[in-house]
Structure 1
Amino acid sequence: MARYTGARCRLCRREGMKLFLKGERCYTDACAFERRSYPPGQHGPVQLRIKLSDYGIRLREKQKVKRIYGISEKQMQKYYEMAINMAGPSGHNLLQLLERRLDNVVYRLGFAPSRTQARQMVNHGFFTVNGRPVDIPSYIVKPGDVIELKEKYRSNSQIQENLQVRVQRGIPAWLELDAENFKGVVKSLPSREDITIPIQESYIIEFYSR
């Protein structure tokens, strides 16, 4: 599956907000968005004065979510189909499915500083779910699932540092982290209040249902 391999800071600038794609760098003055908050390209500052159409607004919202979670268009359409066939608000269902991806949960628990690195760690078999090895980043966790770092990776100083930083910044209410034992538990499904990323999910549903 094709993945974006270009400069990630360009994506934040294109969407006009920090997407936190580069871990700790995004929290420092080295963040490119802090220095150039206009869209990338020769005519970047000019683009700020261009008014988007209704279609453009919904397209940008969809692209923003894809970039935050690092998924392809095909995956996004799949999650949309799943969301509209679930009970409850389709927009919330969509965000809930994205939040429950294993790579996102690994990131939320603090094992990795970014979703990109979390995806790599899952791909390389760093984690087990309920005691069974899982190397599929798109694996959807459910309440009661236990995500645990394998024993041989627990001495990694970078992972230990990542966990300390995450504990300081806080863990989402729907997750529980046991940093000493390198494990996390999915306590419940994420509520809309737990998803603090500024997303207008209704625009995404409208985009695909047009």
Structure 2
Amino acid sequence: MKDTFTHQGMRKRLVETLKKKGITNPDVLAAVNKIPRHLFMDSSFIDHAYVDKAFPIAADQTISQPYTVARQTELLGVKRGDKILEIGTGSGYQTAVLLEVGAKVYSIERQNELFKKTKRFLPKLGYRPKKLIFGDGYIGLENEAPFDGIIVTAGAPYVPKPLLAQLKVGAKLVIPVGDKVQIMEVYTRISPTAFSKEEFGEFRFVPLLEDKN
């Protein structure tokens, strides 16, 4: 679990890449600059940890491309102390970014293998979400709602209604919607019964798994 000067230099270059791609939020850029992404990946991929690409992790999942993580976090507009629900904990990298920007994070993971691994791993790096839960992201986390923001880190075929219902008024849901290619959609709750919707281009995610049991 080493983080060397070489890794830190690679992170600085990654941050410059993200700036060139349009990421401007200083808190998000600082988080990417600080978090040792190589520790979230299998050792065989460490040389690729600071390339702006997604890579495979356990359980047929991926660690998202750094640009995607940064863009989703930026779109969410996290303020320090915000209560954020993350759907799809995965490797925990997005979780760490949210914690670094000051969010109180509640995270749900559907893959039991990944859930166990990440739950053990995050505290070793000093990252402690409020709750890390093995469960179905489609239903959200009603007993902890409402949230200041919800972020979905896998491709959803549709927008789950429970997630919209669990937003505070003024809060955002950032979710990639689609089949093989997803459109990044941002829903803002503008009243108890109304939402606005914006679209932010095409992305590619692994599918959001539904609980079939």
Fold agreement, TM-score > 0.5: no
Superposition TM-score, scaled by structure 1 size: 0.31
Higher RCO (Cα < 8 Å, 6 or more apart)? 1
**Which has the larger Rg?**
1
TM-score by length of 2: 0.31
If each structure's helix is expressed as a fraction of its own residues, which one has the higher value? 1
